[in-house]
């Protein structure tokens, strides 16, 4: 006989406790522990394997090492992030802020796959069938191979999967789907976990590429238990400023490709449009001849991206100056300021320092250090740098400029966009020939970089 067990689970991180607690011991959030009922059924065996059949262990050298077949969509940016396309039987989790464009992206992807004569089933738990049709009209995503169902009951969804037999399945969203055998509300930790496990088994056994849309918390993480991200094959974050038209698709987990790639889209009236040249987008509104503005060549996976860095150094009236950064790690900004004070003699202890990556993109590689230091020095001296300079390099604590990877690709991207000079680490100039029409200045210290930037 089934036994009902009472437990309390955190709605933010999924931590479980046998009794109610005001503060979650896992994530530290207050008033997030909710009561859930769990039905425990005693079974004789362990259960069914993920493949649906009993298997025996085999030597790894006897396993077929053939490449996973991939289904390419008409969205090249999405293919780039996924590692070349959608893998049949994979389970993909897409998260993002409300209204950022997750449903729009997946509806366009569904139409692209349905246009290749693949059967696509779009399950909407937040919109009616008529609302989905209106959005499809606006996006031009009408095809007879795209099936739409408004349902949240997992058993009825399973019946629809058996009836349609799709090649591509979209669940929008996993927080609205519920299993009638689980005695808790939709969106709870138990429901999200059980429903995700069910769709994982369906994807692996039937070979259906499945995409789950996940809600996010106010901190930006995907809501529900952390185990949700461990169960899926790929976790994508769709992010961007709602007041800007562009969107970034970033992979934080991918079993079939790299997690360093990003896809860049622009939101328009007819849906999302791919941005083939992101450097031109991020530099379109850059002012010329203004102090504190520099251009850095950053790498997002295998793609070089030129982004504008803006710095503002102003006198402070407080004993402790402010250090604020947007798009760059705050601790990195503090480190760069300390190097400028100690090695370059800049008296920044009475100055507020603000650093911003124009366009809202986030840069997390150390190659942006040198450009950030030049921007801060430019604002501090109120002396603009040359408008057609590109700067990149890593800064050490002793003031040296360290080599960075993929220097040749960064330089070629700068040359393609019409820049005249590149200030970069001298040790990164070995092993390749610079393109014609652009001057390369190799530096070994921050002092040499500042001297070259302000000459």
Annotated binding site for ATP: 96-103
Interatomic CA distance for residues 373 and 395, integer angstroms: 9
| Contact assessment for residue 346 and residue 340, using Cβ atoms and an 8 Å cutoff | yes
The two tokens of residue 283 are 């530099």
Helices 189-206 and 154-164: crossing angle in degrees, nearest 10, is 10
- Residue 89, φ and ψ in degrees, nearest 5: 85, 0
* Residue 225 Ramachandran class (φ > 0 left, ψ -120 to 50 alpha, else beta): beta
Scored b (16 or more CB within 10 A) or e, 307-336 reads: bbbbbbbeeeeeeebebebebbeeebbebb
Residue 92's Cβ-side half-sphere holds a number of Cα atoms within 13 Å equal to 29
∠445-449-452 over CA atoms, to 5°? Answer: 140
Q: Is 3 exposed, middle or buried (0-12, 13-18, 19+ CB in 10 A)?
A: exposed
Torsion of CA 331, 449, 262, 189, to 10 degrees: 0
Neighbouring residues of 415: CB distance < 8 A, sequence distance ≥ 6: 435, 437, 438
Bridge partner residues of 17 (DSSP): 8
* Residue 157 Ramachandran class (φ > 0 left, ψ -120 to 50 alpha, else beta): alpha
Name residue, tokens 């969804």.
157
User: Which H helix or E strand runs over 424?
Assistant: strand 421-425
**How many residues in total does the chain contain?**
455
Residues of the chain by 3-state class (helix, strand, coil), percent to 5: 30, 30, 45
DSSP character for 438? -
Concatenated DSSP letters of 88-102: TT-EEEEEE-TTSSH
DSSP-derived pairing of the beta strands 303-315 and 389-391: unpaired
| Contact assessment for residue 273 and residue 266, using Cβ atoms and an 8 Å cutoff | yes
Interatomic CA distance for residues 438 and 447, integer angstroms: 22
Cis amide leading into 236 (omega within 30) = no
In the annotated binding site, the residues are 96-103
């Amino acid at each position: 006989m089934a036994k009902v067990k009472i437990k309390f689970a955190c709605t933010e991180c999924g931590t479980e406790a046998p009794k109610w607690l005001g503060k979650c011991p896992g994530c530290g959030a207050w008033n997030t522990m909710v009561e859930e009922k769990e039905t425990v059924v005693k079974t004789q065996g362990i259960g069914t394997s993920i493949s649906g059949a009993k298997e025996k262990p085999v030597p790894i050298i006897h396993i077929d090492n053939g490449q996973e077949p991939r289904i390419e969509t008409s969205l090249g940016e999405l293919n780039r992030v996924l590692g070349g396309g959608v893998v049949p039987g994979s389970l993909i989790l897409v998260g993002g802020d409300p209204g950022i464009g997750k449903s729009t992206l997946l509806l366009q992807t569904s139409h692209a796959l349905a246009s290749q004569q693949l059967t696509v089933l779009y399950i909407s738990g937040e919109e009616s069938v008529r609302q989905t049709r209106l959005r499809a009209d606006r996006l031009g995503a009408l095809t007879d191979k795209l099936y739409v169902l408004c349902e949240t009951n997992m058993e009825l969804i399973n019946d629809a999967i058996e009836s349609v037999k799709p090649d591509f399945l979209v669940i929008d969203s996993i927080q609205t789907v519920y299993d009638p055998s689980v005695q808790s509300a939709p969106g709870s930790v138990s429901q999200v976990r059980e429903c995700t496990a069910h769709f994982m088994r369906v994807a692996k056994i039937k070979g259906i590429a499945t995409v789950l849309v996940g809600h996010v918390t106010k901190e930006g993480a995907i809501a529900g238990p952390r185990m949700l991200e461990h169960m899926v094959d790929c976790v994508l974050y769709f992010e961007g400023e709602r007041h800007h038209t562009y969107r970034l698709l970033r992979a934080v987990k991918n079993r079939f490709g790299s997690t360093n790639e990003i896809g860049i889209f622009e939101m328009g009236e007819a849906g999302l449009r791919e941005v083939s040249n992101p450097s031109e987008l991020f530099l379109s509104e850059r002012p010329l001849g203004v102090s504190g503005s520099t251009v850095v060549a950053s790498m997002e996976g295998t793609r070089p991206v030129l982004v504008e860095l803006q710095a503002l150094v102003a006198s402070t009236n407080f004993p402790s100056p402010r250090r604020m950064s947007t798009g760059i790690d705050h601790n990195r900004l503090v480190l760069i300021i300390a190097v400028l004070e100690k090695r370059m003699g800049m008296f920044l202890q009475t100055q507020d320092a603000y650093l911003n990556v124009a366009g809202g993109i986030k840069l997390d590689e150390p190659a942006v250090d040198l450009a950030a230091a030049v921007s801060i020095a430019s604002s501090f001296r109120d002396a603009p740098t040359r408008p057609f300079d590109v700067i990149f390099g890593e800064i050490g604590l002793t003031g040296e400029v360290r080599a960075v990877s993929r220097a040749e690709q960064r330089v070629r991207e700068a040359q393609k966009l019409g820049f005249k000079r590149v200030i970069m680490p001298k040790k990164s100039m070995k092993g390749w020939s610079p393109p014609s029409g652009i001057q390369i200045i190799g530096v070994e210290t921050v002092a040499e970089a500042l001297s070259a930037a302000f000459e």
